[in-house]
Amino acid sequence: MADQTDDVAGGFLLDLRASVRDMASGLLGPAHDPAGVLNLATNMLKIFELTQQSLAATFPPAEPIACAKGCTYCCHLLVFTDAPTVFLVADTMNRTLAPAAVAALKDRLAAFEADNFGLDTVPRPACPLLVDSLCQVYAARPLVCRAQNSFHVAQCEEKHLGERKMVEAHDVPLDVWNAVSEGLADGLKEAGYAGDANLEFSKALGIVLDTDRALERWLGGEPIFAPARWQGPGGAQGLPGTH
């Protein structure tokens, strides 16, 4: 955020991080309730949307946001997200997509991994959830997908083509995303699930779709997401070429 907003918003974002931490550790607590995990992911999405909308009204973008339906440049970046969001996406898919569409997605996830997650290709292929330029789980998409609010679509295209690393964007959604995702990471750690706050999305989703009773097993302490704990390029949030 711009310097003049730091004092006003900084404390608020710290409080937001602490609130999300408490919510996460509470909902992931001793009850080991699968519904609590889905509620946590849903609540995080609502908190993100409400907070970034109200903060953006106070601290509007310096330039018009260029993002529009059908523009998919940021869906070609590698996506990192957390375990509760992956479970929510899988639950949403299984409730809203036809079995044939879920089967087709599983095939695309496997092909994406076999292609080294598109890391060797410029421009990089799209997220396997993108069909006809639309996200198949838009309502449940990860926070990081919501936080990208570019000022210049030409810069997104240049990044897509490997000609640019950073894109000028509205900082409010990015700051709110950071606060919520760091609060969640704190809460996951407190609840005993450290390491599952920053997973490669396609690999993690494939694990959930291919694992019987994945949510119950994760809650029981099985490290089902270990293969999705990314060690490769872009593993830290914010590196060029990733969300």
The footprint of ligand SF4 (CB under 6 A) covers 75, 79, 127, 129-130, 135, 141-142, 145
Cα 231 to the chain's mean position, in Å? 17
Residue 131: CB minimum distance to ligand SF4, A: 8
What phi and psi, each to the nearest 5 degrees, are found at residue 150?
-75, 150
Dist CA 199 CA 186 (whole Å): 15
User: What is the enclosing helix (H) or strand (E) of 199?
Assistant: strand 199-200
Spatial contact of 146 and 170, defined as CB atoms under 8 Å apart: no
Min dist. Cβ of residue 81 to ligand SF4 (A) = 8
User: Shortest Cβ distance from residue 46 to ligand SF4 (Å)?
Assistant: 17
Nearer to ligand SF4, 16 or 127 (CB): 127
Q: Measured from the CB of residue 232, what is the shortest distance to ligand SF4 in angstroms?
A: 18
Using the minimum distance from each CB to ligand SF4, give the nearer residue, 13 or 93: 93
Closest C-alpha among 187, 181, 188 to residue 223: 188
Q: CB of residue 82 vs ligand SF4: minimum separation in angstroms?
A: 13
Task: Calculate the CA 187 to chain-centre distance.
Answer: 16
Phi/psi at 52 (5° precision): -70, -30
The residue (of 88 and 224) whose beta carbon lies closer to ligand SF4 is: 88
Bridge pairing between strands 199-200 and 134-135: unpaired
Nearer to ligand SF4, 28 or 143 (CB): 143
CB closer to ligand SF4, 47 vs 74: 74
* Residue 86 CB neighbour total at 10 angstroms: 29
DSSP annotation of 170: -
Give min distance, CB of 76 to ligand SF4, in A.
Answer: 8
- How many CA atoms are closer than 13 Å to the CA of 168, on its beta-carbon side? 11
